[in-house]
Amino acid sequence: MLLVAVISCLQFNSYGQNPFNGQITFEGFWWNYWNNNYPNGWSNYLADLAPRLAAVGINMVWYPPCIKNNSTSSVGYSPFDYYDLGDKYQQGSLKTRLGDKNELLRSIAVMHANGMGSIQDAVLSHMDNAGSSTGAGAGN
């Protein structure tokens, strides 16, 4: 009975319907995304996929978090530095899981050149691995 009530509220709310606008967003990652042909270069992988994505009608590509994490094995939800997009050598690497900053920017430009937009996933309430247990700052 509760399910019927919830469905009824969703169908007949005062905000009206949200009709399909013909736009399709492609989630360009999964939880433990990795490609052995593009190690620490997921942006390059997405850029190489761009013509095929555009050909099947994708309008927007959703990128995983591109910020620096404590290692490139992290999928992006345990950020170390929100301002490092892969252009500072920290935590033992220059690159993020997506690659370096230039690879990310190139990938976004390739999406735009193929008529697609891009959207960045981020969880702003997450922050891990900054500093050290001794107070000496972030080590490499």
Calculate mean pLDDT across residues 44-64: 95
Q: Tell me if residue 84 falls in helix, strand or coil.
A: coil
Listed residue (107, 105, 63, 66) closest to 83, CA to CA = 66
> Which tens digit of pLDDT belongs to each residue from 3-39?
444 444 444 445 567 777 888 998 888 878 888 888 8
Calculate mean pLDDT across residues 79-99: 86
pTM: 0.74
Q: Tell me if residue 72 falls in helix, strand or coil.
A: coil
What's the pLDDT at 133? 54
> Which tens digit of pLDDT belongs to each residue from 97-134?
889 999 999 999 999 999 999 998 887 777 766 655 55
Nearest-angstrom CA–CA distance, 118 and 74? 21
The fold adopted by the segment(s) 22-120 is Transcription Regulator spoIIAA (3.30.750)
